[in-house]
Amino acid sequence: MTTTSTASTGPPAPAARRASPGRAPGRAERRLAGRQLHGGPLTYAVLALFTAGSLFPLVWTAVTASRDNTRLARTPPPFWFGGRLARNLGTAWTDAHMGLALGNTLLVAGTVALGTVLFSTVAGFAFAKLRFRFRDALLLLTVGTMMVPPQLSVVPLFMVVAGLGWTDQLQSVVLPTLVSAFGVFFMRQYLVEALPTELIEAARVDGANSLRVLWHIVLPVARPAMAVLGMLSFVQAWNDFFWPIIALTQENPTVQVALTGLGRGYVPDQAVVMAGALLGTLPLLLAFTLFGRQIVGGIMQGAVKG
């Protein structure tokens, strides 16, 4: 990059001279240049304001979940925690099927994340590094349908699920989301750059077949991207809404289905409703406090590549 710019701007000598003694001034220039500036107090103030806005609804979910229904029907609204959190959580756990829903969702989201990572890594590797007929056309098809919303396929899916008698069974929500076009594209973009083609060729020369290449060379390289994709798929599957609402009922719900039941008047107690919302969100919040940096990194990485 620097070589091209010096070549185009003029003779290399002055440019080189400017570069070598100019280390200190160079940094000063850069500080002038906006992006390396330290954030001022105003920056922090605005960020703090938006952070408060981002976190407040979550905190308030916990506040209202710890109160009782009569307190919620009074002004001013409560600002601090009450003493009924455990009782409301217990009621939501049993009466609103949140316990069952959490177990179901863990199973569904876990399976979907595993399946997505597995299928996406294998297919992404083939798209990134192997040559076969129709490769580019198939990739284009995959990318082209990446953004097709679930509404467009929900009627046939419902007809199939109803025909098989799968209503209310978890496989009806797992199977349609088990693979993801985004996942394949994500892994492909990662492996195109991260996986050296020479490494594969060398392994082939040593007589490794494709499965061994996949296991010993691709998987170790792909692991960071697989972890990120796994987390993103898990979050997405956990929060999947439209299709589960149609395929499942309150008899055997996922978290989102159970919360919808709560929101539509299944349980009249507002504090219990909020306790349910809290229960349904806590596992992901926990994951966010543990893996937040990785998830942020994954989203930013996907953004640049995509």
What is the smallest separation between the CB atom of 40 and other proteins, expressed in angstroms? 8
Q: Which residues contact 71 (CB under 8 A, 6 or more apart)?
A: 78, 82, 271
**How many angstroms separate the Cα of 130 from the Cα of each of 125, 179, 218?**
7, 20, 12
What is the smallest separation between the CB atom of 71 and other proteins, expressed in angstroms? 10
- Of 86, 140, 148, 164, which lies in the binding site for other proteins, with binding defined by CB under 8 A? 148
Can residue 114 be called a binding residue for other proteins (CB under 8 A)? no
Q: Which residues contact 287 (CB under 8 A, 6 or more apart)?
A: 231, 234, 235
Q: Is 20 helix (H, G, I), strand (E, B) or coil?
A: coil
- Of 13, 24, 73, 137, which lies in the binding site for other proteins, with binding defined by CB under 8 A? 73
Can residue 35 be called a binding residue for other proteins (CB under 8 A)? yes
Q: Is 168 left (phi over 0), alpha (psi -120 to 50) or beta?
A: left
- Of 6, 169, 171, 210, which lies in the binding site for other proteins, with binding defined by CB under 8 A? 210
Can residue 37 be called a binding residue for other proteins (CB under 8 A)? yes
What is the smallest separation between the CB atom of 135 and other proteins, expressed in angstroms? 7
Backbone phi and psi for residue 265, each to the nearest 5 degrees, phi listed first: 95, 15
Pick from 200, 183, 208, 211: which is nearest to 124 by CA? 183
Number of residues that bind other proteins (CB under 8 A): 117
What is the smallest separation between the CB atom of 55 and other proteins, expressed in angstroms? 6
Between 193 and 206, CB nearer to other proteins: 206
- Of 7, 16, 25, 36, which lies in the binding site for other proteins, with binding defined by CB under 8 A? 36
